[in-house]
Structure 1
Amino acid sequence: MNKKLVGSAVVGAAILAIVVAQFWRGEEAPAAAPPPPAPTTTTLPYQATLEAYNFPDVAGGRGWSIQIPVPSGWSVTHENDRASYRSGHLLLETDKVPISQEDALSGLQAIAAKAHQDGSVVKPVQAGDFGDAAEWDYTYLRDGRDPERVAIIGLGAGDSLVTIRYEAPPAEFDPDRGVLDAAMKVSAPG
């Protein structure tokens, strides 16, 4: 018989005997330490990342900007004035659109009326130190089958409406709303 084959069989039998003896005595292997918790959407850092919308000098005054805290570490795309931040099923999007209304509440109400979203609500809100702000909440069916809940914050900025859109499946909307709450800490024009 081959000596290597016999040696391997002896080592294998020894390992098997140790494993059987350990379970035969009723001892269990120590439990593995749980993995560290994964960062959630509400624990991601916000302090270093800002999405800024700049406005030119008006009537000889100096220009100003609206700065919106956005999540670091999310995938981001920019298209014109729209910035989309995604993490899984969550979306935080900022944009600047022209409006003919004089305030954020009227601007969002006009957008909501065009969208024909049943059960939608538009109301004034506080967004950081920004005085002219409104929120529009509604739910829609994505691709005609998956419900999505949406909150859009509108900030009146002269002839523009800067928006912050937060979208998530209904079960994730409230638990992860900290993403929107952090984004609403916008800097006011000064």
Structure 2
Amino acid sequence: MNKKLVGSAVVGAAVLAVVAAQFLSGSDPAPAAAPPPTPAPASAPAPAIVRGSLEIYPLSDATGPGSAIEIPVPSSWAVSRDKERASYRQGDLLLETDRVPITQEDALGGLRSVAGGQGGTVVGHAPIADRDAAEWDYTYARDGVPRRVTVVGLGAGDALVTVRFEAPVAEFERNRGVLDEALKIRS
């Protein structure tokens, strides 16, 4: 008899015996062991944390262990999350915080990189919490309504932490206090 055919028959019989034993024993099979957790790379910063009304981005730069950027956020607004981005909404108003993993010399260069060719203006901003900062202002139309956006980026070592405020043009200045409060960042 062919050795390959005999080997296949033996393996098939063993599989059949295991399956039959599971059905005939009347008990559920033992659950599979959970795979071991995948260790995070040593250079990856911890994910953002929300504590009270703060969005906290732990830092992995040279400022030392335990350092973070703490952004005040509206506690009563609806919040959604996608990885490092937190979006706070109330009606047509939107406040977002995010950590963008890019290499940059400074916040201005980093924000210009993020803005790409999308338009608007990117300019330097006064330092915030002793960190270099830059500001990107632009408008766009959504559903025929012009919207104004201001994004402020802070240099955070191997990343750029951003605060983005968006509102219909007619409501932007009246609600700018939301952005001003969010920019009372601690580091």
Question: With structure 1 as the length reference, what TM-score do the two structures score?
Answer: 0.67
Alignment of 1:102-141 (within 5 A): 102-115=105-118, 117=119, 120-126=120-126, 128-141=128-141
1:127–1:178 distance in 2 versus 1, CA, 3 Å: farther
Partner SS state of residue 105, structure 2: coil
Structure 1 gaps of 5+ residues are 1-47
1:35-50 matches, cutoff 5 A: 48-50=52-54
Shift of 1:85: 0.2
Name the % identity.
55
Counting only pairs closer than 5 Å after superposition, residues 160-179 of structure 1 correspond to structure 2 as 160-179=159-178
Q: Calculate the aligned-residue CA RMSD, in Å.
A: 2.0
- After TM superposition, the score normalised by the length of structure 2 is 0.68
Q: Equivalent of 1:54, from 58, 70, 73? A: 58
User: Contact 1:127–1:186 at 8 Å: present in 2 too?
Assistant: no
Opposite residue 138 of structure 2, the aligned amino acid is Y
Distance 2:62 2:103 in 1: 18
2:148 is matched with 149
Is the CA contact (8 Å cut-off) linking 2:60 and 2:157 kept in structure 1? no
**CA distance in structure 2 between the aligned counterparts of 1:56 and 1:158, rounded to whole angstroms:** 7
User: What are the superposed Cα offsets for residues 139-164 of structure 1, whole Å, 9 maximum, x if unpaired?
Assistant: 01124x22110000001101100000
Partner letter of residue 135 of structure 1?
E
Matched, 1:87 2:57: no
Distance change >3 Å, CA 74–CA 127, structure 1 → 2: farther
Task: Show CA shifts across 1:53-79 (max 9, x none).
Answer: 0124759x4231100000120000111
| Structure 2 unmatched ranges of 5 or more | 1-51
